Amino acid sequence: MQVLTLEQFIADRQQEIEGATGAFSKILRDLSLGAKLISFHLRRAALSGILGELGITNVQGESVQKLDHLSNTLFRQLFAKNPHMAGFASEEDDTFTPLNPEGKYVIVVDPLDGSSNIDVGVPVGTIFSIYRRRTPVGTPCTEADFLQGGRAQVAAGYILYGTSTLLFYTTGKGVHGFTLEPAAGDFLLSHPDVKMPEKSSYYSFNDNQFHEWPPALQAFITTFHQENRRSAKPQSLRYVGSLVADFHRNLLKGGFFMYPGTVAKPEGKLRLLYEAYPMAWLIEEAGGAATNGVQPILDIPPTKLHQRTALFLGPKTFLEKLAQTLSDHVPVEKV
Ligand code: AHG
Ligand code: MN
Ligand code: MN
């Protein structure tokens, strides 16, 4: 295995982001420092009393875990000192935080994804998405800098705090994965140019809401289970409730993930800017597809920072079949 650090990998591929004069390296350096520190805290959280709830509710209406708050504060502090970063928006914060007016980029983060799993030892992650700002350099960033839409991302990725600490990212030139080498304190290239297998080994969804899904989706999933049972190599259910962990496993082994909307909440649970856009770009770069059932996630126009969306991730052909079924049966309004 060639020993190639994340920094060297980016340096060797100059212009990772068009016109980025080393800014991208500095941003990734801050992300990887945050990843190492959060990994350290997670691995011994029970011993240092940072498990459990902080006792406040965030803008999502969710109880904030102590490690949600720690991760969010850490990343905001790291980027506040980064001269290239003009703004920071987090799933945990009511609104965005203007940082350096001279910065050319803004970042959107889900600082800790899968919070319900922190206390029970199941992998959690960080999700990030980077945009070039639209407003003039030298002025404070505005909300418009964060609401540019999925196809305006210049970089996106995740950190998985699992059996290894992994950092996967794309800048539109494939998906590349790095593993933290604790002996060196560096992320080393371990998964160059990742492509998702067309054949799925797993399916991932929480079917406790089956009765609330649109009838066309109920029919699609019922048929899916019937066909799967008849298959020579049936797919297994794997759903851990951390999007980053479910995504990563399905990216490497092939799989279908969904968090649908319900008739009551058609917009679903997952967040467009913090979770769906970055994961959608990554899976498209790896040869797969991401939709809200009928429309590519990356084509959904953003209207507000904490917008939610139904999310379907998987092989292109499978999602095309789903879109056909949903379009034929139920007039699912395009957003
Ligand atoms: P977060 O911890 O950042 O709020 O994200 C949790 C999300 C996502 O990671 C996961 O796919 C989904 O919640 C699981 O939701 P359910 O527990 O309702 O299945
Ligand atoms: Mn999340
Ligand atoms: Mn989160």
Task: Give the residue among 309, 270, 302 at the shortest CA–CA distance from 149.
Answer: 302
Closest ligand, as measured to the CA of 262: 1
User: Does pLDDT of 333 surpass 60?
Assistant: no
220 in the same domain as 88: no
218 in a structural domain: yes
109 in a structural domain: yes
60 in a structural domain: yes
Give the DSSP H/E element, type plus range, for residue 81.
Answer: none
Q: Is the CB of 68 under 6 A from ligand 1?
A: no
220 in the same domain as 137: no
Q: Is the CB of 67 under 6 A from ligand 1?
A: no
d(CA 27, CA 44): 27
Q: Which long-range contacts (CB under 8 A, 24 or more apart) does 182-188 make?
A: 184/5, 185/36, 186/5, 186/6, 186/7, 187/5, 187/6, 187/32, 187/35, 188/3, 188/4, 188/5, 188/6
User: How many A from CA of 18 to the centre of ligand 1?
Assistant: 33
User: How many A from CA of 113 to the centre of ligand 2?
Assistant: 4
Mutate to test the pocket of ligand 1, among 113, 128, 203 (most ligand atoms within 8 A of CB): 113
User: How many A from CA of 241 to the centre of ligand 1?
Assistant: 5
Q: What pLDDT, in 10s, does the model give residues 178-199?
A: 999 999 999 999 999 999 999 9
User: Does pLDDT of 248 surpass 80?
Assistant: yes
Q: Is the CB of 206 under 6 A from ligand 1?
A: yes
Task: Give me the phi and psi of 190, to 5 degrees please.
Answer: -130, -20
Entry pTM: 0.95
pLDDT value at position 20? 64
CATH number of the domain within which 313 lies? 3.40.190.80
Protein residue with its CA nearest to atom 8 in ligand 1: 243
pLDDT value at position 170? 97
Task: Give me the phi and psi of 326, to 5 degrees please.
Answer: -70, -35
Query: Helix/strand/coil (H, E, C) string of 53-75?
Result: EEEEECCCCCEEEHHHHHHHHHH
pLDDT above 90: percentage of residues in the chain? 82
pLDDT value at position 15? 58
Q: What pLDDT, in 10s, does the model give residues 32-86?
A: 999 999 999 999 988 888 888 888 888 878 887 889 999 999 999 999 999 999 9
144 in the same domain as 14: yes
pLDDT above 70: percentage of residues in the chain? 95
250 in the same domain as 147: no
Mean pLDDT of 311-325: 97
Task: Give me the phi and psi of 87, to 5 degrees please.
Answer: -165, 160
- Asked if 311 contacts 290 with a C-beta cutoff of 8 angstroms, the reply is yes
Integer angstrom CA distances of residue 76 from 34, 103, 110 = 10, 14, 12
Burial (CB < 10 A; 0-12, 13-18, 19+), residue 284, is buried
Task: Give the residue among 118, 104, 151 at the shortest CA–CA distance from 48.
Answer: 118
Domain boundary among 191, 214, 233: 191
332 in a structural domain: no
- Asked if 114 contacts 26 with a C-beta cutoff of 8 angstroms, the reply is no
Average pLDDT of the chain? 93
Q: Is the CB of 243 under 6 A from ligand 1?
A: yes
214 in the same domain as 81: no
Q: Which stretches within the chain are classed as H helix?
A: 6-12, 23-43, 66-80, 215-230, 243-253, 277-285, 316-329
d(CA 133, CA 129): 12
157 in a structural domain: yes
Domain boundary among 191, 213, 244: 191
Protein residue with its CA nearest to atom 11 in ligand 1: 243
User: How many A from CA of 300 to the centre of ligand 3?
Assistant: 21
207 in the same domain as 147: no
333 in a structural domain: no
User: Does pLDDT of 332 surpass 50?
Assistant: no
Kindly state the tokens that stand for 18. Answer: 């068009």
197 in a structural domain: no
92 in the same domain as 61: yes
What is the total count of domains within the chain?
Answer: 2
206 in the same domain as 187: no
pLDDT value at position 317? 96
Q: What pLDDT, in 10s, does the model give residues 218-240?
A: 999 999 999 999 999 999 999 99
Mean pLDDT of 161-190: 96
125 in a structural domain: yes
Give the DSSP H/E element, type plus range, for residue 154.
Answer: strand 153-161
User: How many A from CA of 127 to the centre of ligand 3?
Assistant: 8
Could you list the residue range(s) of the whole structural domain that residue 179 is in?
Answer: 6-191
For residue 50, the 8-state DSSP code is -
The size of the chain, in residues, is 335
Task: Give the residue among 205, 301, 317 at the shortest CA–CA distance from 261.
Answer: 205
173 in the same domain as 212: no
Q: Is the CB of 242 under 6 A from ligand 1?
A: yes
User: Does pLDDT of 335 surpass 60?
Assistant: no
Q: Is the CB of 114 under 6 A from ligand 1?
A: yes
Mean pLDDT of 251-271: 94
User: Does pLDDT of 201 surpass 60?
Assistant: yes
CA angle 160, 166, 172 (to 5 degrees): 95
254 in the same domain as 171: no
Domain boundary among 164, 191, 218: 191
User: How many A from CA of 14 to the centre of ligand 2?
Assistant: 31
279 in the same domain as 176: no
d(CA 291, CA 146): 21
Q: What pLDDT, in 10s, does the model give residues 102-149?
A: 999 999 999 999 999 999 999 999 999 999 999 999 999 999 999 999
Kindly state the tokens that stand for 66. Answer: 């102590």
Which atom of ligand 1 has the smallest separation from the CA of 206? 19
CATH number of the domain within which 77 lies? 3.30.540.10
Closest ligand, as measured to the CA of 90: 3
109 in the same domain as 11: yes
